[in-house]
């Protein structure tokens, strides 16, 4: 994050402590900083470097349906610091389409001095969630993988009185990073869909942020369950910032609710589909782009 954003966050914490509210000038500066951050990220992405070679350091099961692969090695030497919540492009070994490497996009759950943690949600029959999940389940320490990026994180706006965060297991890594960066006095609600009770994670967050879990053994099916759970959460008073990343059909329902019914504009809402039931990433990208264009028409 650009240093200016941190400065605004410090100002807001000070003003809250001293007066219990944010002065208009701080709100205005926050909006300017957010726009500048986005511009800087776009410029950086336009200068994206060539993929680097990383090495698998370890693998482990975080929960029954979440597997973590930790990578490091020489590729980390040129990898920028502070990329928690950003994303990388994994070029899966031994897999290609039309003589091009098969690429899948994943969130950086955690970056340390010598490693990146990448978490994989195990969807599908017996956890067979496509080529990336297959690679994660079969990867062994010492194996290499080419990695592109990083791409920018999608953080929560500091310009909010409360937060409304929605996602499934594919978004859980990004949600975990975002919640951990909130100030101690932040308040809000978080709804996360997982496959089993044992897939719940102990997420670092402020005491005022309530965590709601929705159990759905068949992710991507019955999108109405997620919508019903989201609508059941009481709407708080004050300026909200909503963040939603889910399966495509769930996303459309949440967009209708948050943008259509609640009237949230781009300055109060980040919404995206991370995947679509029955489609691979490339196919989902085409559908996602067409849907975005239609929604803007």
Burial of 28 (0-12, 13-18, 19+ CB in 10 A): exposed
How far apart are alpha carbons 137 and 17 in whole angstroms? Answer: 48
Question: Of all residues in the chain, what percent carry a pLDDT higher than 70?
Answer: 81
Task: For residue 211, say if its preceding peptide bond is cis, omega within 30 degrees of 0.
Answer: no
The pLDDT of residue 230 is above 80: yes
Q: In the prediction, which pLDDT does 128 show?
A: 47
Q: What is the mean pLDDT of residues 90-95?
A: 90
Q: In the prediction, which pLDDT does 92 show?
A: 94
Q: Collapsing DSSP states into helix, strand and coil, what is residue 106?
A: strand
Q: Quick one: which of 136, 149, 141 has its CA closest to 47?
A: 149
Greater pLDDT, 276 or 38: 276
How far apart are alpha carbons 112 and 107 in whole angstroms? Answer: 14
The pLDDT of residue 182 is above 50: yes
Which residues are within 8 A (CB) of 54 and not within 5 positions of it... i.e. 6 or more apart? 71, 72, 73, 74, 75, 76, 116, 144, 145, 146, 147
Are 111 and 94 in contact by the 8 Å Cβ rule? The answer is: no
Which residues are within 8 A (CB) of 124 and not within 5 positions of it... i.e. 6 or more apart? 130, 133
User: What mean pLDDT is reported for the chain?
Assistant: 86
Q: Quick one: which of 196, 171, 172 has its CA closest to 65?
A: 196
CA 279 to chain centre: 20
Grade residue 293 by pLDDT with cuts at 50, 70 and 90: confident
Q: Are strands 162-167 and 144-151 parallel, antiparallel or unpaired?
A: unpaired
For 130-173, what is each residue's pLDDT tens digit? 899 999 999 999 999 999 999 999 999 999 999 999 999 999 99
How far apart are alpha carbons 167 and 194 in whole angstroms? Answer: 9
CA-CA distances (angstroms) from residue 96 to 59, 106, 139, 279? 24, 18, 17, 17
Q: Where does the chain show beta strands of DSSP type E?
A: 52-63, 66-72, 87-97, 100-111, 116-121, 144-151, 162-167, 187-194, 208-215, 240-247, 269-275
Tokens standing for residue 21? 């509210």
Q: Hunting for tokens 């609508």 — which residue is that?
A: 231
Residue 240 neighbours by CB distance under 10 Å: 20
The pLDDT of residue 189 is above 90: yes
């Amino acid at each position: 994050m650009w240093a200016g954003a941190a400065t605004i966050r410090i100002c807001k914490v000070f003003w809250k402590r001293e007066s219990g509210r944010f002065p208009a000038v701080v709100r205005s500066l926050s909006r300017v900083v957010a726009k500048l951050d986005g511009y800087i990220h776009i410029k950086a992405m336009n200068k994206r470097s060539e993929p680097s070679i990383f090495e698998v350091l370890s693998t482990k099961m975080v929960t029954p349906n979440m597997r973590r692969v930790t990578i490091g090695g020489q590729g980390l030497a040129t990898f920028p610091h502070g990329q928690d919540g950003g994303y990388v492009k994994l070029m899966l070994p031994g897999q290609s389409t039309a003589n091009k490497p098969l690429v899948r996009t994943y969130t950086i759950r955690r970056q340390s001095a010598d490693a990146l943690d990448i978490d994989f949600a195990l969807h599908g029959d017996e956890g067979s969630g496509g080529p990336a999940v297959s690679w994660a389940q079969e990867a062994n320490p010492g194996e290499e993988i080419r990695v592109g990026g990083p791409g920018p994180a999608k953080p929560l706006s500091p310009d909010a009185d409360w937060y409304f965060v929605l996602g499934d297991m594919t978004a859980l890594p990004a949600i975990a990073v975002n919640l951990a960066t909130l100030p101690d006095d932040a308040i809000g609600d978080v709804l996360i869909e997982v496959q089993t009770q044992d897939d719940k994670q102990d997420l670092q967050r402020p005491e005022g942020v309530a965590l709601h879990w929705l159990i759905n053994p068949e992710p991507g099916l019955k999108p109405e369950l997620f919508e019903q759970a989201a609508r059941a959460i009481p709407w708080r008073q004050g300026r909200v910032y909503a963040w939603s990343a889910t399966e495509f059909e769930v996303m459309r329902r949440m967009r209708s609710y948050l943008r259509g019914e609640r009237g949230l504009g781009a300055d109060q809402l980040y919404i995206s589909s991370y995947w679509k039931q029955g489609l691979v990433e490339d196919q989902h990208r085409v559908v996602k782009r067409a849907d975005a264009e239609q929604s803007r028409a």
